[in-house]
């Protein structure tokens, strides 16, 4: 059973925008924080943005001012609005949901920034 369903990745030119969405299954209870991570070829997975249950958010320095994370608590959905995209943003983006017993991960969605 897929627990986190991601959508919105794709190919975009430098300077363009994309919006990622991640919907958590109703079977996941008591989600505290949700976030987005990314992994580029040959690199480790890194945190992009995270939003907690109170709405507080954290961003990687490389995306501050360009990316915005938001969350719909009723729909158990997290969004990542990505603006002014750069080639170095190219990676597989993974959704993450934190609960007390464990973390859940999405299957990943490819974002490619290229002219």
5's enclosing H/E stretch is: strand 4-7
Q: Look at residue 29 in the predicted model and tell me its pLDDT.
A: 79
pLDDT, averaged across the chain = 95
Tell me: pLDDT of 51 over 80.
Answer: yes
Q: What is the mean pLDDT of residues 7-22?
A: 97
Q: pLDDT category, 17, cuts 50, 70, 90?
A: very high
Tell me: pLDDT of 19 over 90.
Answer: yes
Q: Which residue has the higher pLDDT, 75 or 1?
A: 75
- DSSP letter, residue 89: G
CB 103, CB 2: distance < 8 Å: no
Tell me: pLDDT of 103 over 80.
Answer: yes
CB 69, CB 50: distance < 8 Å: yes
| Measured distance CA(52)–CA(49) in Å, rounded | 10
Q: pLDDT category, 42, cuts 50, 70, 90?
A: very high
């Amino acid at each position: 059973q897929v627990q986190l369903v991601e959508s919105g990745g794709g190919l975009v030119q430098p300077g363009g925008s994309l919006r990622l969405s991640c919907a958590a299954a109703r079977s996941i209870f008591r989600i505290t924080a949700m976030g987005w991570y990314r992994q580029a070829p040959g690199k480790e997975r890194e945190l992009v943005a995270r939003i907690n249950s109170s709405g507080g958010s954290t961003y990687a320095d490389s995306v501050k001012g360009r990316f915005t994370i938001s969350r719909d608590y009723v729909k158990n959905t997290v969004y990542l609005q990505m603006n002014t995209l750069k080639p170095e943003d190219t990676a597989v983006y993974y959704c993450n949901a934190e609960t007390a017993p464990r973390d859940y991960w999405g299957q990943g969605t490819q974002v490619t920034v290229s002219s």
